[in-house]
Structure 1
Amino acid sequence: MESGPAIFAALAFGLFGAALLVWTGVRTAHRSPVAAGVSPVRAAAVTALAGAVCLGLGLWCLTRI
């Protein structure tokens, strides 16, 4: 019964993390700013880290099923 919320959380974290990584990759490939008013390298690094953490949380949620 408790696997439903774990699956939902895993999908939510996984989709958000993957989308954030893809968006960051596309923005940096086109040399567009990732965040306004911030160093491009720092913004790309922080968003990539956040995307990786979200993917990790999604995988962690799947191991709790």
Structure 2
Amino acid sequence: MESGPAIFAGAAFTLFGAALLLWTGVRARQGEPVALGVAPRAAVALTTLFGACFLLLGIWCFGRL
């Protein structure tokens, strides 16, 4: 019964984390700002950190099945 919410949460976290990492990589490679009004290095570092955290959280949710 609890596998349904775990699958949904795992999919949502994994997709969001992967998309955030992909978007950050593309923006940084093109030299575009990742976040407006934030230092470029800090923005890349924080979005990479949070993207990796969301990706790992999604993998953890799948591991709990």
What is the TM-score normalised by the length of structure 1?
Answer: 0.97
Structure 2: gaps spanning 5 or more residues: none
User: 3-state DSSP class of the match of 2:32?
Assistant: coil
Q: State the match for 1:6 in structure 2.
A: 6
CA distance in 1, matches of 2:34, 2:27: 6
**Aligned Cα root-mean-square deviation (Å):** 0.5
Runs of 4+ aligned structure 1 residues displaced above 6 Å come to none
- How many residues get paired? 65
What is the TM-score normalised by the length of structure 2?
Answer: 0.97
Structure 1 residue 10, shift from structure 2 partner: 0.3
Q: State the match for 1:18 in structure 2.
A: 18
User: 3-state DSSP class of the match of 1:24?
Assistant: helix
